[in-house]
Structure 1
Amino acid sequence: MADEFETPQGRRIAWNRIAGVAPTVVFCGGFKSDMEGTKALYLEQWAKDRGQGFVRFDYSGHGISGGAFTDGAIGDWFEDTCAVLDRIDGPVVLVGSSMGGWISLLAARARPGQVAGLVTIAAAPDFTEDSMWAGFDADQRAALERDGQVALPSEYGEPYVITRRLIEEGRDRLVLRAPLSLPFPVRFLQGTADADVEMSVALRLLDHAEGPDMRLTLVDGADHRFSDPDCLALIAQSVEEVLARI
């Protein structure tokens, strides 16, 4: 059973924490995903097996945390992540999947003294602007302005309801338009068959960020889920590599 706490903004966050050695590995999930996903649970078992501190959690409006998904935006979920980090003593290694990659980059920028390493999986920085808004046609943009939201089809279930606030608030959280310093070990992972985040995003991120120890691994044929046995093993291997270089 997950524990709960309230953020300074009054949002109820559900989280699972495994005690172990530092740095604590913190998994940041994707857009409309939750902490019961394959990657989060795999990493939790990996952490238990090696005695590593580990945390997984649900952003507000996700999983079993409080709030409605449509009330949230990138900044809210970033604040939720910071509230989690505030409850962890010592350094952390962030593992960010898809949107969680963007959230992790924001957290790394905001908490340079605490974040000691980073692994991203199909990171989707700035996706509200570069993927959603840039991809909307005139009718969708008009609907967003008129109705405050627009529904997008999803391969993962019910349509995604995208709100005007999500788009507008996201513009205050972009990370690819200003210097992005990552002064610690970083491993970016990306599948070549990812239909949600193109390889060009991973290449742009690698080119844009600045740091002494950054590597991008492309996995031929891997999709956005990045959850087959080989991909899961690569995630754990990448976290181990980051931990070893801290």
Structure 2
Amino acid sequence: MTGTKAQSLHEWAERAGHGFIRFDYQGHGASGGAWEDCTIGLWRDDALAVIDQATRGPLLLVGSSMGGWIAHLAALARPERVAGIVGIAPAADFTERLIWNRLGEDQRAAMLRDGYLVQPSAYDPAGYRITRRLVEEGREHLILGKPIPIDCPVRLLHGQRDEDVPWQLSLDLARDLSGSDVRVTLVKDGDHRLSRAQDIALLLRTVEELAGGGDASASAVPGTGPGKGDGGPA
């Protein structure tokens, strides 16, 4: 929650007079818990606990990478609270599409046998464990490939030089969302983080557009994707 995007959003929200919340999921940042013990459902429940216990009124959810997936899961669980979503390289269904589907047969067999694989990560020199439980539990929360009953405005920002989450995933997400007010912005020279000054400016313009039409609070949560340590908001 100390990442550039989350901090910039906090400063914007203060200037604009909006409420703002950011937090670290279990197994990330300042929060307790071990990454290896966590699942998509657990992280979704983290977000719902914050929504239910620490906010009131309509919310604008901003999610980066895995946080983009969690934001949509939260909107499905609390449709009456969510007034809009901004996804930054949203890694919807990454446990299946970006992990399981990319494993070779030997790797799949090893994960099923040992319960985990250690994969290299640009965010952690030691790599990180991808557990069988993460992948199998993630299947309970897959949203792509079928209509997604989210009708609030959604904005998706994605760099076309993203080496972690293919930008085409945002197009798939936009296609499946049931709402009509959905826009995808592709940043041709943008990477996965979209944390450069011009990327932050785009994010703030996007959030301001959605929040400007009402009294929605900006709720941000640091998020990760297939790599631990993405400092973006979720």
Q: Report the TM-score, using the length of structure 1 for normalisation.
A: 0.84
Matches within 5 A, 1:60-99: 60-87=26-53, 88-99=55-66
What secondary structure, in the 3-state scheme, does the structure 2 residue paired with 1:160 have?
Answer: strand
**3-state SS in 2 of match to 1:153:** strand
Percent identical pairs in the alignment equals: 51
2:75 corresponds to: 108
**1:196 alignment partner, one of 148, 151, 164:** 164
Report the secondary structure of 1:113's partner residue: coil
1:59 and 1:77 in contact (8 A); partners too = yes
- Please tell me whether the aligned partners of residues 185 and 245 of structure 1 are also in contact (alpha carbons under 8 angstroms): no
Q: CA deviation at 1:63?
A: 1.0
Higher mean displacement: 149-158 or 216-225? 149-158
Larger RCO of the pair (alpha carbons < 8 Å, separation 6+): 2
Whether 1:149 aligns to 2:116 is yes
1:37 paired to 2:3:
yes
Once the 2 structures are TM-superposed, how far is the Cα of residue 183 of structure 1 from its aligned partner? Answer: 1.4
Question: Which has more strand, going by share of residues?
Answer: 1
Instruction: After TM superposition, give the deviation of residue 179 of structure 1 in Å.
Output: 2.0
Which consecutive unaligned segments of at least 5 residues does structure 1 have?
Answer: 1-34
Moved over 6 A (4+): none
Distance 2:34 2:109 in 1: 24
Q: CA deviation at 1:112?
A: 0.5
Q: Once structures 1 and 2 are overlaid, which stretch shifts more, 75-84 or 210-219?
A: 210-219
2:96 aligns with 129
Paired residue total: 212
Paired residue type of 1:138: E
User: Among 128, 140, 146, which residue is 1:178 paired with?
Assistant: 146
Q: Does the CA contact (< 8 Å) of 2:151 and 2:177 recur in 1?
A: no
Separation in structure 2 between the aligned mates of residue 156 and residue 169 of structure 1, nearest angstrom: 24
Structure 2 unaligned spans of 5+: 215-234
Report the counterpart of residue 51 of structure 1 in structure 2.
Answer: 17
Q: What is the aligned-residue RMSD (CA, Å)?
A: 1.0
Give the 3-state SS of the residue equivalent to 1:94 in structure 2.
strand
Q: Tell me the TM-score normalized by structure 2.
A: 0.88
Equivalent residue, structure 2, for 1:21: none
Distance 1:92 1:224 in 2: 25
* Cα shift at 1:184: 1.5
SS at match of 1:57: coil
Give the CA deviation at 1:220.
1.1
The residue number in structure 1 matching 2:86 is 119
